[in-house]
Amino acid sequence: MNMRFEWDNSKEADNVAKHGVSFAEAKEAFDDADHIILPDKLHSSTEQCYFCIGRVERGVLTVRFTLRNTRIRIIGAGFWRKGKQYYERQS
């Protein structure tokens, strides 16, 4: 499957400063054959958002995203404990 991604560059810079993760790295979580997609019920007030939890080189990464037309729009990403715990329980 050919996934296409997009993001806001200033939001990516904020994410790198806060969580140490670029959105280019965040894309890699979708390449994990065992990745998990979950709805983000807390942040889905104006549009449906999701989490992708997948393994990348540095560990298990959680990526917040939404779908815009045919693209995955990355909103944020980090090596968050809850995502890792969920991933490890499911694997």
Up-side HSE of residue 2: CA atoms within 13 Å toward CB?
0
| Amino acid of residue 78 | G
Q: What is the pLDDT of residues 59-80, one digit of tens each?
A: 999 999 999 989 999 999 999 9
Domain positions in the chain? 4-90
Q: What is the pLDDT of residue 42?
A: 80
What's 46's DSSP letter? Answer: S
Beta strand pairing call for 36-39 and 49-56: antiparallel
pLDDT for res 72:
97
Helices (H), the chain: 9-19, 23-27, 81-90
Mind listing the pLDDT tens digit for each residue in 17-53? 999 999 999 999 999 999 999 999 886 668 899 999 9
Which fold, 4-90? Nuclear Transport Factor 2; Chain: A, (3.10.450)
CB 6 within 8 A of CB 73: yes
